[in-house]
Amino acid sequence: MRDFRRRRLDVRFSVALIVLVAGIGSAAHAQSLPLGAKYRDSVMVADRKIPLLDGEWTVVAVGSTKSTKGNDMERVYLAQMAGNRLARWVNISTNEEWFPGGWSRDKEICDRKDVHAGYSDTSHNPKDTECWVLNHHGMTLGKDPSQASIDFYRWSDALGRPNTALSLSYFLAKRGDFLRIEYCFNPVVAGFRDTGGAGWRGNPWHVDLASKDEKKLAYLRELKVTGEALFEKLKGVLK
């Protein structure tokens, strides 16, 4: 009888220890990057090594949010300055916990035709998705922004954030994980005039209009080369 009680206590202790360790691991996993931290080459977000473009990047906004199915997601913004003007920034979103049901295909990125460049897989498998686009992006918060996005907009309000940015946007899903990331570029820093507004249609950077401007086309070709190289790196992020 004593042996039975001892074994039962041992089992309870083991279960409690497993729960405690899992809780500690989950808390550590969800811990955000510190604001103001500097990174080069790559940054770790939710245990995933995210490639960065050249130069030093600063964490300017962090947060967590819930997916439509209640899954925890981590959000991070990093930025680069050109003097006192916002030059480039990265918006990273990824899941913190594995989700066996897979992730819905992001129609803002996947299967789009009205963009400057990109690639979309043809399998339409929610557990194995690879898409990217080069597109122009109106810099407005939109509907139901995350706290990290709100914080980024507040931070960049007086730093020359353009009305329209150029964006290399990626959506990747593998098994139960996903990664959505935008590498954004301020075309004003590249010598272009800012647009009068943030609208998408009729925007001077819309594919139908930019294709008539040789200077813009040359800039977009450079971004396409960058986007293809980043895509090759990002395909190895999710294991």
Query: Is the Cβ–Cβ distance between 45 and 33 less than 8 Å?
Result: yes
Q: How far apart are CA 217 and CA 223, in angstroms?
A: 10
Q: What is the value of pTM for the model shown?
A: 0.84
**Quick one: pLDDT at residue 126?**
75
Contacts of 29 (CB under 8 A, 6+ apart): 46, 47, 96, 97
Q: How far apart are CA 205 and CA 115, in angstroms?
A: 10
**Quick one: pLDDT at residue 68?**
61
Task: Report residue 70's pLDDT band, with 50, 70 and 90 as the boundaries.
Answer: low
- The first and second tokens of residue 138, run together, are 């109106």
Q: Check whether 22 has a pLDDT greater than 90.
A: no
Q: How far apart are CA 139 and CA 158, in angstroms?
A: 14
**What are the domain boundaries of the chain?**
1-31, 32-234
Query: Is the Cβ–Cβ distance between 205 and 163 less than 8 Å?
Result: no
Q: How far apart are CA 175 and CA 153, in angstroms?
A: 33
Block residue for tokens 């353009």:
162
Number of neighbours of residue 127 by Cβ within 10 angstroms: 16
Q: Check whether 11 has a pLDDT greater than 90.
A: no
